[in-house]
Amino acid sequence: MQVDRTGGDAARRRRQHAAQILRAATAAPAAPAIAPAAPAAPAPVDPRVLQPTHAKTYRTFPVPTPSKAKGEWTVDWERAYADAQKVLDAIDFSKRDIVIWAPGTSNHGPHPAFEEAVAEAYRGQGSNLVALEYEATWHLRRSLPTGIATMRLVLEGIRARGGDHRVLLAGESQGSWIIGEVLADPAVSKVVDRAVLLGHPWLAAHQYNHGEDPRVRVINHAGDMVAMPVNGDPTVGLDAILAIRTLDISKVGSLLKGIIANPKQGVELLKSITHAIPFVKDFIKDPHVYDGEMSRAVEFLRHGTLPISGDLADLLGVAQMPNGLLDPAHDEEAHRRLARQAAAAYAAQRATAAA
């Protein structure tokens, strides 16, 4: 009898095929139908663009000592980049004028009087005013150089963005100090069209009160001890100012040294202690307050003219000038000439006193 093995053979072949599939599956994982794309090469990064590297480190650059005073000046790079990005995000690049206000110590945001003056000057056009974000504390040896780095990054960001803009800077006290040091850096200063420095500290490494830069005007009140020259060691002078402004008794030694080295400034320092005492400072005029100067600061930023009345936009102040030199206003050349005359007169006085 003949046996039909067709059905058995077919079943056996199915079992063998299934076993082969099982062995292949357990031997190695199946390859994907489509191989994954190779990682894309990182796009080149413009060094002026505010981007950290993958290691969360930042492109740094030299920040020269910003003061005549010595000490350890340090930059918080992470904060500088973060603050600069906030400022750049706030700028309206559709407008031609970019106005940046650098606030003084313990202040943040635009100065109310400056903000009002800008709004009035750009009425109907929409102002484009932003404030520099930075620490703005009396920890000057960190706050100041970090603020300088921040401002430089902002200017680099504006330059990288391009466009036909006028960059107009103004600052008060520590804010003016920041602007002055950035303007001394040729790598970024060409971005700036005009700048006004209010209450610019004498201890700053770079000064502009003699018309060195036609883009810059300095407005310093007579009697403003922050703007007064410091005799002796500038480091002692800085610590003396910090002792008064922060009421830090640990710096009393520096305060006494500062008074001995510079009696005139010492008197102003002691008088200025009232400006740091709550409830008292509201009733005594502080020469280091520049609320009343904001309108003419904005006038210069917009039009390049600086009306002068009451006090010269110069380190010495008009109160120290002979009355015959005072006019309601001076043109730019007259301003620079008067500044040079005032500086020469002051130098002669000091030479006579030292003789």
How far, rounded to the nearest angstrom, does the alpha carbon of residue 40 sit from its chain's CA centroid?
Answer: 37
pLDDT value of position 83:
95
What pLDDT shows up at residue 131?
98
CA neighbours closer than 13 Å in the CB half-sphere of residue 25: 6
Q: Rounded distance, CA 336 to CA 331, Å?
A: 9
Side by side, the strands of the sheet bearing 97-102 are 129-131, 97-102, 166-172, 192-198, 216-219
**Token reading at 305:** 């003219």
DSSP 287-328: TT--GGGHHHHHHHHHHS-----SS-SSSS-GGGS-GGG--S
Reading the block at residue 302, the tokens are 């917009």
Q: With contact defined as beta carbons under 8 Å apart, do 169 and 155 qualify?
A: no
HSE (CB half, 13 Å, CA atoms) of 197? 31
Judge whether 206 and 173 are in contact, CB under 8 Å.
Answer: no
In angstroms, the CA 15 to CA 257 distance is 101
User: Boundaries of CATH 3.40.50.1820 in the chain?
Assistant: 77-227+288-354
- Architecture of the CATH domain 77-227+288-354: 3-Layer(aba) Sandwich (3.40)
pLDDT in tens, the chain (355 residues): 444 455 566 666 666 665 665 565 455 444 444 444 454 444 443 444 565 444 556 788 889 899 988 888 999 999 999 999 999 999 999 999 999 999 999 999 999 999 999 999 998 787 799 999 999 999 999 999 999 999 999 999 999 998 899 999 999 999 999 999 999 998 899 999 999 999 999 899 998 877 778 899 888 887 787 887 777 788 877 887 777 777 777 767 767 776 777 676 666 666 666 655 666 556 667 778 898 889 889 999 999 877 544 334 443 343 333 333 333 444 445 555 655 565 566 556 656 766 6
- Maximum C-alpha span of the chain: 144
d(Cα 193, Cα 168) in Å, to the nearest integer? 6
